[in-house]
Amino acid sequence: MIYFIDTNIFLRVLIRENESAFQQSKAFLEMVKRNVYDAVTSTMVISEIVWTLGSYYKFPKKKVLRTIQGILHLSGLKIVDEYDINKSLALYESHTCKYIDAMIAGMPGVQSGAWNIVSYDKEFDKLGVKRVVPAKLLK
């Protein structure tokens, strides 16, 4: 199984607003780093992190850049950008969801069931894809 890491998992570690989610997300990312799990994310997720840290949390640009470099150099994490735009648009049309979530849910790896999405975002549940929270992956 490959795990697609959604934006909110990284943000829970970076922002630390919820201690339980912080601890669980951090522990999961440590397991990815130790190659316990095969994990991927996308440049779209990276873009969301950049926007959220800079626009919402007002991180200085240099801090955002250092943060993203840290994510990109996380051992065990691969960046994939394999989208099925037609599937994504169909999901977006037929469900009440964010377009970015439809893009992630429409990825071939997610659609085939080979990838589970690691996320606290329950919106994925209505898109008919497999979602898991970090706590379920901690051993």
Contact, 81 vs 104, CB < 8 A?
no
Per-residue tens of pLDDT for the chain, all 139 residues: 999 999 999 999 999 999 999 999 999 999 999 999 999 999 999 999 999 999 999 999 999 999 999 999 999 999 999 999 999 999 999 999 999 999 999 999 999 999 999 999 999 999 999 999 999 999 7
Q: Residue 55: what pLDDT?
A: 98
Q: Residue 16: what pLDDT?
A: 96
CA distance 74 to 29: 9
Residue with tokens 């377009």: 99
For the stretch 64-71, contacts whose Cβ atoms lie closer than 8 Å and that sit 24 or more positions apart, written own/partner, are 67/14, 71/10, 71/41, 71/46
Helix (H, G, I), strand (E, B) or coil at 75: coil
Domain parsing of the chain, residue ranges: 2-136
Ranges of H-type helices in 1-139:
7-15, 19-33, 43-51, 61-72, 85-94, 99-105, 108-111
Assign domain 2-136 to its CATH architecture.
3-Layer(aba) Sandwich (3.40)
Contact, 38 vs 1, CB < 8 A?
yes
Instruction: Give the strand order in the sheet containing 115-118.
Output: 77-79, 38-41, 2-5, 115-118, 131-132
